[in-house]
Structure 1
């Protein structure tokens, strides 16, 4: 468990270390982190708590994959920058080299002559004496840049193998996780089946807003109280590895404004609950694909919409970090290279006493300092 936690922490800290490293060094660190995550993924099958082990290692793989792809993108930009510098310097270097070759071919006595006399000849000699060291320094810089390009190319070749290995391990882990969740029988439950009122709400739902308000009115929190959710504000991890697309209250391309966050994710990204919670609803709803409504504390509802697969049953009480589903699409990490990969979107809404509140301040990645 400590190994997996270390990998997760390392992947999170990677983003903070990029600025201190060259693009190549950062990408190399990310590749090493991804390979470590793959090793742990392959060991998770035999773990005592398979669901927790698989969840943590899939998350570590996703963080490592994101870090590696960002590193490769930075590396590609750095390579383009170096090549651009080569082109910008090409004409000047060629002119200096041509002058030195011409001087080297000229007879010795002629080099010492200058039409301006001895003083001008001495001045010219001093200038020429400085050309050699300057050119050597320039050559050393070019040599370093060429070596960095060689490292980048080697990294890109090895990264493809890491992506392919990681994809295979992650797909196997996702399949194993789905089976393990299906076989799970030890979860506490607050009620054993969907109440009739909930079934009626699903049948008559016209909007997510109305459905969420209806769920908030249903009997809830019938078990022991859950930990202080309000006190966790600003410290929760996002339920999925992704990139914030839209904040609460920001209109989309169609001019529609929603009270939640929209996060872009990779295909088949794992979605987890960021806090201990009871499943209040899970299943298809309107045009939101699958919806997961969690109750992290009395009076609060956390809504996750846009999932392709959902885990668990209504009434299940989950620990923080427990898997609740997968995003749609198909993970093609090794095929896509460094192109665009976040093609799925998860909608995150938070409600208190049935009213929507801005979720951003609750999550580490989206809070504003």
Structure 2
């Protein structure tokens, strides 16, 4: 991240040295009456240049140290994003389990309510059986036929009544166990939500810290670049003085800064290894027919509200911001002519020109219930849409 400021500083210093060397060379051929003043100015500028070079060296050391800190922060961001992704999955599983448990609880309550009268009849019948047992034949021989009928009837009904009583007891015990499980699941859900909030706060703090690091690097580099530009401007003024004294200075072409190191190029060989940018269900596939009659040139992932969005691959952000009706859009250059387009985020962390790592959080989906949290993803090669599924490594939402 410090390559551009360092290259600009180095280019300005090389240009200044060339101008200064040329001025010193030409001053030897100047008329005597202008030489002393020019030499004194050149010596003063040379001393100032040396001081600035020492300052630049110190700044480069500081920038390298801060860049190392920034790299460590990026790795922490990736780790925090992985934790948040795992917690989002835990929260969703807890929500699904709670819905299932509450549906089972409702069914059991309905079943028990509908059988309440029958259960009361069972209890009454059992009490009556216990109280009014058939009379002994020795006591009332004339009731022998009635006793036989009662015995036969009880022999048939008793097992049925016993089964219904056992089933009711089992349902009540099951309902009690289910309610205890719901309480435990609610506790787990709250714990997962709390940890998810902490993970979000951690990511937010890391992002803020990284922005402060980047701002400090750019602020120091911009300050020193402005100072060196002022020195170069004054050296150009001195060149004009040399010309007025009778010298001539050929045109100087400033040296162009060398290109910084690029990303490792390998996206075209990364098929089947790229992670989804967010957890959710794919609701529109590549090539699907749209309401407009056209076909989708990417995929649409329906995420959780406020779900985090991570970079699917290492790359450089070429664009980050609102664009027409797509909401906030990010275009990521991943090398070899490939670009990944992500649209529909409510918040974008990364900025144009920033390098990001695979798995590094780059944005967040909307929290507003009125907005459907759909994240659109495209992969393009030289502006031609490609099927993202060729690169994505697993079914999302599993």
Which interval holds the TM-score relative to the shorter structure?
0.5 to 0.7
User: 1:58 and 2:90 equivalent?
Assistant: no
Task: Answer with 1 or 2: which has the greater Rg.
Answer: 2
- Alignment check: 8 A CA contact 1:51 1:181 kept: no
- Give CA deviations for 1:306-336 in whole Å, capped at 9, x if unaligned: 1222233434443221122222336xxxxxx
Instruction: State the alpha-carbon separation in 2 of the partners of residues 167 and 364 from structure 1.
Output: 25
User: 1:349 and 2:349 equivalent?
Assistant: no
- Give CA deviations for 1:22-79 in whole Å, capped at 9, x if unaligned: xxxxxxxxxxxxxxxxxxxxxxxx9895323332332233222222222222222222
Structure 1 residues 353, 66: CA separation in 2 closer, same or farther (over 3 Å shift)?
Answer: same
Give the structure 2 partner of residue 198 of structure 1. Answer: none
User: 1:311 and 2:349 equivalent?
Assistant: yes
Structure 1 residues 308, 287: CA separation in 2 closer, same or farther (over 3 Å shift)?
Answer: same
Give the structure 2 partner of residue 106 of structure 1. Answer: 132
User: 1:288 and 2:288 equivalent?
Assistant: no
Structure 1 residues 157, 72: CA separation in 2 closer, same or farther (over 3 Å shift)?
Answer: closer
User: 1:260 and 2:289 equivalent?
Assistant: no
Instruction: State the alpha-carbon separation in 2 of the partners of residues 150 and 90 from structure 1.
Output: 19
Structure 1 residues 252, 99: CA separation in 2 closer, same or farther (over 3 Å shift)?
Answer: farther
User: 1:359 and 2:388 equivalent?
Assistant: yes
- Alignment check: 8 A CA contact 2:280 2:302 kept: yes
State the TM-score, normalized to the length of structure 1.
Answer: 0.62
Give the structure 2 partner of residue 277 of structure 1. Answer: 315
Gaps of 5+ in 1: 1-45, 187-220, 331-339
Work out which structure has the larger RCO, using CA pairs closer than 8 Å and 6 or more positions apart in sequence. Answer: 2
Structure 1 or 2: more helix by fraction: 2
Instruction: State the alpha-carbon separation in 1 of the partners of residues 370 and 134 from structure 2.
Output: 64
Give the structure 2 partner of residue 72 of structure 1. Answer: 98
- Give CA deviations for 1:232-260 in whole Å, capped at 9, x if unaligned: 32x43321122322223435566664222
Alpha-carbon distance, 1:297 to partner: 4.0
Alpha-carbon distance, 1:130 to partner: 2.2
Instruction: State the alpha-carbon separation in 2 of the partners of residues 364 and 95 from structure 1.
Output: 61
Alpha-carbon distance, 1:305 to partner: 0.4
Give the structure 2 partner of residue 176 of structure 1. Answer: 205
Give the structure 1 partner of residue 49 of structure 2. Answer: none
Alpha-carbon distance, 1:92 to partner: 3.8
Give the structure 1 partner of residue 37 of structure 2. Answer: none
Q: Secondary structure of 1:281's match?
A: strand
Instruction: State the alpha-carbon separation in 1 of the partners of residues 279 and 370 from structure 2.
Output: 12
Structure 1 residues 228, 114: CA separation in 2 closer, same or farther (over 3 Å shift)?
Answer: farther
Aligned pair count? 278
Structure 1 residues 154, 298: CA separation in 2 closer, same or farther (over 3 Å shift)?
Answer: same
Q: Secondary structure of 1:328's match?
A: coil
State the TM-score, normalized to the length of structure 2.
Answer: 0.58
Structure 1 residues 284, 47: CA separation in 2 closer, same or farther (over 3 Å shift)?
Answer: closer
User: 1:81 and 2:110 equivalent?
Assistant: no
Structure 1 residues 304, 110: CA separation in 2 closer, same or farther (over 3 Å shift)?
Answer: farther
Structure 1 residues 184, 258: CA separation in 2 closer, same or farther (over 3 Å shift)?
Answer: farther
Structure 1 residues 160, 359: CA separation in 2 closer, same or farther (over 3 Å shift)?
Answer: closer
Give the structure 2 partner of residue 206 of structure 1. Answer: none
User: 1:328 and 2:366 equivalent?
Assistant: yes
- Give CA deviations for 1:245-276 in whole Å, capped at 9, x if unaligned: 22234355666642222122233321112222
Structure 1 residues 127, 47: CA separation in 2 closer, same or farther (over 3 Å shift)?
Answer: farther
- Alignment check: 8 A CA contact 1:242 1:342 kept: no
Gaps of 5+ in 2: 1-71, 216-259
Q: 2:265 aligns with which of 226, 249, 270?
A: 226
> Aligned-residue CA RMSD in angstroms?
3.9
